[in-house]
Amino acid sequence: MKRISAVIMAALMLFAAASLIGCGKTESEETHFTIGVIQLTSHAALDAAGEGFLAALADNGYIDGENITIDYQNAQNDQSNLSTISDRFVSANVDLVLAIATSAAQTIAGKTTTIPILATAVTDFVSAKLVDSNEVPGGNVSGTTDMNPIKEQIQLLIQLAPDCKTVGCIYNGGEDNSVLQAGIAKEAIEAAGLGFTEVTVTSTNDVQQAMQSLVGQCDAIYVPTDNTVASAMPIVADVANAALIPVICGESNMVDAGGLATLGVNYYNLGYQTGLMALRILADGEDISTMPVESQTDFDYVINGEVAKLIGIAIPEELKQYIQE
């Protein structure tokens, strides 16, 4: 009887141990992450950044609905929506946040100091007060900057419109990234001996009237990577092209929407680069506070061939390979 009782006792202990193991998390559960994505608004560049981010995760085995959960939220350019979405992510204690555009990053960064935040489509992380420095962020925010080669873009403008005397600029004065870019553009334009004029807008509803006032004051227009103007780029293009005024844009999606040309950031690639940073945090446990802000080094020439013909711009031989019809 004692021997039988001992056998039974051992069996019960093994069963209990197996039950405890069964109550623990499986390997897939232990590696399941929730990522909150907060995007300022919908336009081609920001959408492409989000797509690139998700592609980087998927290419490395992190699939939404399998081993990660993506909570993708678009604020539709509304500050109160940004705040509500941010509160939701903080309450859910997501594992990581991707913030697309400066104001989205600023809003979520103001809500948490513990959840890692990767931002993209942000022009200057330091002036936006998101990091202590680009080299050593020092907090819970890092990411990728969409700072353009603005001086080179102005040189492209001069190359395509050599008779230009005055360059106009349109942007939202409430977007920190746009103010910064407009300032750099002004310096480059005036250094080239050209005149500079600008108009600012507060919403997409202002763009048509602002453009109509601008075309009477300039021979060419420079548009930075401004979210408000990007959302209304077809309006910008309609007014400028009707006046036969070339528009040099901050990025290629604006060219696709009717601008003349750019030498700019590829936002899909920028988002992909940000996704690779996310993998280093989620999979490798890297400390975001020591992850430098990254930038692109290769920029894309894009020229809208149809617009060039419409407004009578002759494309120099060395740039013809970049024409898209």
What's the average model confidence in pLDDT over 290-314?
A: 95
Q: Which fold has domain 31-146+266-292?
A: Rossmann fold (3.40.50)
| Exposure b/e, 181-218, CB count within 10 A at least 16 = b | bbebbbebbeeeebebbbbbbeebebbeebbeebbeeb
Higher pLDDT, 325 or 43: 43
Report the C-alpha gap between 105 and 276 in whole angstroms: 18
- Residue 297 — pLDDT band, cuts 50, 70, 90? confident
pLDDT at residue 28 above 60?
no
Angular region, 106: left φ>0, alpha ψ -120 to 50, beta rest: alpha
**CB-neighbour burial class of residue 249 (10 A; exposed 0-12, middle 13-18, buried 19+):** buried
Residue of 81, 40, 51, 271 lying closest to 177 (CA atoms): 40
Q: What is the pLDDT of residues 119-129, one digit of tens each?
A: 999 999 999 99
Residue with tokens 């009707």: 242
Residue 128 burial (CB count, 10 A): 19
Q: Which fold has domain 150-264+300-324?
A: Rossmann fold (3.40.50)
Q: What is the pLDDT of residues 157-173, one digit of tens each?
A: 999 999 999 999 999 99
CA 81 from chain centre, in angstroms, equals 18
Give the whole-number percent of the chain exceeding pLDDT 70: 91
Evaluate whether 117 touches 140 at the Cβ level (below 8 Å). yes
Residue 278 burial (CB count, 10 A): 25
pLDDT at residue 16 above 50?
no
Of 20-24, 200-204, 211-215, 290-294, which range is least confident? 20-24
Alpha helices in 24-165 (DSSP H): 27-30, 44-59, 79-92, 102-109, 150-160
According to the model, what pLDDT value does residue 35 have? 98
Mean pLDDT of the chain: 91
Q: What is the pLDDT of residues 199-235, one digit of tens each?
A: 999 999 999 999 999 999 999 999 999 999 999 999 9
Alpha carbon separation from 117 to 36, 196, 237, 280, 289 (Å, rounded): 9, 37, 35, 13, 10
Residue of 170, 168, 171, 224 lying closest to 194 (CA atoms): 168
Residues carrying CATH 3.40.50.2300, the chain: 31-146+266-292, 150-264+300-324
Report the C-alpha gap between 88 and 259 in whole angstroms: 38
Q: What is the pLDDT of residues 82-133, one digit of tens each?
A: 999 999 999 999 999 999 999 999 999 999 999 999 999 999 999 999 999 9
**CB-neighbour burial class of residue 268 (10 A; exposed 0-12, middle 13-18, buried 19+):** buried
Beta bridge partners of 144: 294
Residue of 233, 255, 241 lying closest to 299 (CA atoms): 255
pLDDT at residue 1 above 60?
no
Report the C-alpha gap between 165 and 150 in whole angstroms: 18
